[in-house]
Chains A and B, each alone.
Chain A
Amino acid sequence: MTMAEHPAPGGFRYIGTKRRTKEDPRFVAGRGRYAADIALPGMKHVALVASPYPSARIVSIRAEAAFALPGVRYVLTGEEFCAATDSLTIGVDAPKVTRYALAKDVVRYAGEWVAAVVADTRALAEDAAELVEVDYEPLPYIIEAERALESGSPLVHPAHGSNLLYRRRFVWGPVEKAFAESDRRIEFRAKWGRSSTVPIETFAVAAQWHPAEQLLDVWASIQMPKFPDQAARALRLPGNAVRVHYDVDVGGSYGVKRGIKHTVLVGYLARRLGVPVRLIEDRLENMRGGDMHGPDRYFDVQAAFDTDGTIHAMKIRALDDVGAYAGRSPLQLGKPIGAICGPYRIAAIEYEPISVMTHKTPQEAVRGFGQSPTNFAIERAVDRIARALGMDRIEVRRRNFIDKSQFPYTIPSGSTYDSGDYHAVLDKALAAIDYPALVRERDDARAAGKLAGIGISTCLEPSGGNTAFEPLFNPKNETTTWMDSCLVRIDLSGSITGIMGTSSSGQGHETMVATVVGEVLERDPAGIRVIHADSLNALPSNSPVGSRMAIMLGGAAAGAAKKIKQALIAIAAHNFECAVEDLEYREGNVSLKGAPSKTLTWDQLVEIAHRKFHRMPAGLEPGLQAKFVWEVPTGGGLPTPDGRIQMYPCYAFEAHIVLVEIDPDTGKAVIRKYVCGHDCGVMINPDIVHGMTCGGIAHGIGAALYEKFAYTEDGQLASGTFMDYLIPSAMEVPAIAIVDHCTPSPLTTFGQKGSGEAGYLGAPAAIGNAVNDALEPLGVSIEETPMKPFALWERIRAARGDNGKR
């Protein structure tokens, strides 16, 4: 299936057209610059010693045998490290839940790092790590989230007093009244299995301390807000003593590359030992000890609705297991509040997020920051409502959609959706997949003895990330600023450079910025260079999270370019001795309206700005450069007492339609057809957006059907390698067709909305709905991800009272 064609909307010159990216050429030539590619002279290598127990007291650590190995430089334990550095920050109010890269006194999960060995090579470091002798006294442990809440359960952090990190019951609107007055109600439990984005590149960080300058250089595979600040803080260094190089290429992240503990560890070692130090997680360290797991949730959902399909209220209780430590992970229960009723006009919502700790690997920010599991729960509810009423699932959605005439639309939890036309996107997707033919195809498969189902999901992608869930979940934290920025400069030769202040992990930011700057200045983006600053010379950024860069970095790049355009016009006005309104700007040249012979060309204007001060208007800076720093639009406020707040500003929308076939004798599911209708407003580069959406769908397929961090009863990670943690290949991911729609955002420069999380937010819901549609004739359902063959077979067998017969 091919991508839908689309014209450049709104008469843009470069935005929305098919353009090759700036990044691709270096990657296809094998000339990326990843953290593991950086070789510093004299660099040493780290390997970790990990706890085999989920919970234990560290009785003693003996490193003599390790130290005796030639080539071993140091063995660092928690005793030294935790005294010399500060605890990493946590996103909720739980000051006693401290966290360091190395365990001290106790270990809290199997795989937690207990000691770090530094040696001349990684191989030698691993040899030495095996010789470090650690005596443990195993302690009671808890690995089930619901049991972790019961009194008497072992405590992961005894000083905190319980395993509960956060709990609150939000009630927005007349929930009980709606339940009392509605015709019908449903209730069910869904379980989102612990999975994560698991990039193909593991986390890698290299650091070098310069004693003469008192400066720590850091190269890391990082995607994290406030990374340099937190690293400096934990290392007890001033912020300007840490220089993070954002020009390191990151091999995929999709949220999780928050390697702050790795960085503090390596930064400390580099300073302590006076040599550059590098840690590249091997896959075993990454899966078990890298602290990059994802949401692990029970949803208890109730919905109240009338017989005509109108949904009046929902109650969602979300219990999430963050593992043994937390950074911002509990906040993944908060972000979905910004779209807690999905694309529907549900007037009353009760939401009870509960964040709990167990003796498992910690969770990190995963693509969507909790939105995908929440969409799964909401969309399963909608399908169940349709089933309860014997109503078509598409019809139920249509009836409850917020209508295009109702935007901007404020939902009960306080966020305002900026724009959208959900009916149109759904219609486009239905047309693209030829829905009547799809139904026939499903029914033919059923007639031939297969289980077959169509799944639909209609979900929101909140974009333009701010951090509104921080003060919501932690009133002591009044952070409301979540800015981003860009600097644009034109040099003496007239060429344009844009400077961004954060790292990229495949989102095509360089291309995006060049396109935006080119659009504003009417100059070919092919000639515009975009570079990454480092954390010392960067303007402030909050990194690519929450699908925010097209909006925030794009907006900043446009803002800076506009200032330069104004400067060029001002120079011309001064030189022509006329008003700015008398001038016309075209492709960098400025002419007097009606007198085209009176033109100052780009080159001439550049020369005046850089060299001819005597021809500059008073008050205008010499040279041609501008910075633009701005806050997320519509954000910047604190929550109301009942927990209402404006979360992200812009709402992209996706409608997934998928056909799944299940072999009833084996339980194996195959996706036969996949279409995604997608509206993220104006797309700056369609290929980039489509690519990320397909990738998000593949991620979603993995979460829905294949991937799980599974734990044994003794608290061991059973799927800690790629033999057991199953990432979908090109054989599992089907051909994907995307159909675009555009409802521009009124809040952004070009009408763009963000899109980095697209696909992932709706795919698991659609596949879950398809699988359940397939199982419906048997009268069974499945509400747990991943829906692996074994799990499906158990349902099928139960339905048939099976003893092997058909």
Chain B
Amino acid sequence: MKAAPFEYIRAGSIGEACELLARHGEGAKLIAGGQSLVPMMAMRLTRPGLLVDINEIAALKFVSIERDFARTGAGTRQCVLERDAALASRVPLLRQALAWVGHIQTRNRGTVGGSVAHADPAAELPLVAQLLGARMLLRSASGARTVDARSFFTGPMATSAGPFECLEEIRWPVWRERRTGSAFTEISVRHGDFAMVAAAAQIALDEDGRCTRASFGLGAVDRTPVAFAQIAQRLVGTRLEQELLREAAREAAESIEPGGDLHASADYRRHLARVLAERALGAAHEQAGKIK
């Protein structure tokens, strides 16, 4: 399983990477961690004419916590995110999600931007981006623009990033509510496998235990990761009683169009979606409730 031949350039800066993309067009592909791209190249399912290696661009590797959002450079290794204590306290969902991403070898090489840009609907980081409403900073030779997660993920392995654009940074919203809880759960056949269904939730409570903010989403159930903003909104102001969470999960499960494959039928996915959404909401609620 040797990749088809390709040309290779190691980009020294974001600008250089963008310039190469602009010059070479559709035949060029960025390579970061390669954990998704290289297996596809080995199986000759994809054969880029030119690989633009962005692994050595220091400017893409950073974690910076600001007041309302955390900024992660797209080239930051997943293991660096996982270990960052400040990030874990401000955007707890990231560390929770990363525990489900492959194995240690995957996270030592894979990047946060690579996973988001690859946009596998079953992947953990895209789900977190979707449900938190993360913002992607895209750079090209002609400038930069920011895209909301909702507009960024357009389909399976597809994003609204153009062929000449490089994902530079992801901004993860920080919830400043004191009593914030989150949870990420997933079901796969083996530990570390692609999720059959993934679910994540984040909840904020007021001092009386009433929900002041809610977000939840599902992965591997549709063409992109799905966030249920309207259903979540209806939880605000409630005490998040079990029946309400169950109902929210049921509604979410009915609104999706999952596919079937070797490991799970569409029906089964829909069922898992309901079960995991309820579990994620419940766990997030419980975590928030523990903050006195």
A contact residues vs B (CB 8 Å cutoff): 122-123, 126-127, 130, 282-284, 665-668, 706, 710, 718-719, 721, 723-724, 726, 728-729, 731-732, 788-790, 793-794, 797, 802, 804
Contacts of B274 in A (CB 8 A): 804
Contact B2 A804 (CB under 8 A): no
Contact B191 A732 (CB under 8 A): yes
User: Which residues of chain B in 251-282 are interfacial with respect to chain A, using CB atoms and an 8 Å cutoff?
Assistant: 253, 262-265, 268, 271-272, 274-276
B38 at interface (Cβ–Cβ under 8 A)?
A: no
Complex Cα–Cα for A706 and B43 (A): 23
Complex Cα–Cα for A794 and B253 (A): 18
| 3 tightest A-B CB contacts, nearest first | A731-B191, A123-B2, A282-B1
Q: A284, A668, A804: which contacts B187 (Cβ < 8 A)?
A: A668
Complex A-B: 25 CB contacts under 8 Å: A122-B2, A123-B2, A123-B5, A126-B1, A126-B44, A282-B1, A284-B1, A666-B187, A666-B272, A666-B275, A706-B190, A710-B262, A718-B262, A721-B43, A723-B193, A723-B194, A729-B190, A729-B191, A731-B191, A788-B263, A789-B189, A790-B268, A793-B268, A794-B268, A797-B271
17 additional A-B residue pairs with CB within 8 Å, beyond A130-B4, A282-B1, A789-B263:
A122-B2, A123-B5, A127-B4, A127-B5, A666-B275, A667-B268, A668-B187, A724-B262, A726-B190, A728-B190, A731-B190, A731-B191, A788-B263, A789-B189, A794-B268, A802-B271, A804-B250
Contact A789 B44 (CB under 8 A): no
Complex Cα–Cα for A728 and B274 (A): 27
Contacts of A790 in B (CB 8 A): 263-265, 268
Q: Which residue of B lies closest to A665 (CB)?
A: B275
Given A282-B1, A793-B268, A726 and B275 contact (CB-CB distance below 8 Å): no
Contacts of B272 in A (CB 8 A): 666
Distance in angstroms from B67 CB to nearest chain A CB is 39
B192 at interface (Cβ–Cβ under 8 A)?
A: yes
Given A284-B1, A726-B193, A793-B268, A130 and B44 contact (CB-CB distance below 8 Å): yes
User: Which residues of chain B in 125-168 are interfacial with respect to chain A, using CB atoms and an 8 Å cutoff?
Assistant: none
Q: B3, B4, B189, B276: which contacts A726 (Cβ < 8 A)?
A: B189
Contact B1 A788 (CB under 8 A): no
Contacts of A718 in B (CB 8 A): 262
For the residues of B in contact with A, the DSSP-based class is: loop
- Proximity bits, B1-41, A CB within 8 Å = 1, else 0: 11111000000000000000000000000000000000000
Contact B187 A126 (CB under 8 A): no
Contacts of A724 in B (CB 8 A): 262-263
Contacts of B253 in A (CB 8 A): 804
Complex Cα–Cα for A789 and B276 (A): 14
Given A706-B189, A732-B190, A283 and B265 contact (CB-CB distance below 8 Å): no
Distance in angstroms from B57 CB to nearest chain A CB is 28
Complex Cα–Cα for A790 and B262 (A): 10
Complex Cα–Cα for A793 and B265 (A): 11
Contacts of A123 in B (CB 8 A): 2-3, 5
Q: A284, A719, A789, A804: which contacts B262 (Cβ < 8 A)?
A: A719
Distance in angstroms from B68 CB to nearest chain A CB is 36
Contacts of A122 in B (CB 8 A): 2
Contacts of A126 in B (CB 8 A): 1-2, 44
Complex Cα–Cα for A665 and B263 (A): 16
Distance in angstroms from B165 CB to nearest chain A CB is 29
Distance in angstroms from B144 CB to nearest chain A CB is 36
Contacts of B4 in A (CB 8 A): 127, 130
Contacts of B3 in A (CB 8 A): 123
Complex Cα–Cα for A789 and B193 (A): 13
Complex Cα–Cα for A127 and B44 (A): 10
Complex Cα–Cα for A471 and B109 (A): 56
Contact B191 A788 (CB under 8 A): no
Q: Which residue of B lies closest to A793 (CB)?
A: B268
- Proximity bits, B179-199, A CB within 8 Å = 1, else 0: 000000001011111101000
Complex Cα–Cα for A282 and B44 (A): 13
Complex Cα–Cα for A187 and B251 (A): 44
Q: Which residue of A lies closest to B276 (CB)?
A: A666
Distance in angstroms from A575 CB to nearest chain B CB is 65
Complex Cα–Cα for A540 and B124 (A): 57
Complex Cα–Cα for A126 and B189 (A): 32
User: Which residues of chain B in 205-261 are interfacial with respect to chain A, using CB atoms and an 8 Å cutoff?
Assistant: 250, 253
- Proximity bits, B85-125, A CB within 8 Å = 1, else 0: 00000000000000000000000000000000000000000
Contacts of A726 in B (CB 8 A): 189-190, 193
Contact B192 A804 (CB under 8 A): no
Contacts of A668 in B (CB 8 A): 187
Contacts of A788 in B (CB 8 A): 189, 263
Contact A283 B268 (CB under 8 A): no
Contacts of B265 in A (CB 8 A): 790
Contacts of B44 in A (CB 8 A): 126, 130
Q: B43, B191, B275: which contacts A284 (Cβ < 8 A)?
A: B43
Q: Which residue of A lies closest to B269 (CB)?
A: A790
Distance in angstroms from A133 CB to nearest chain B CB is 17
Complex Cα–Cα for A719 and B193 (A): 14
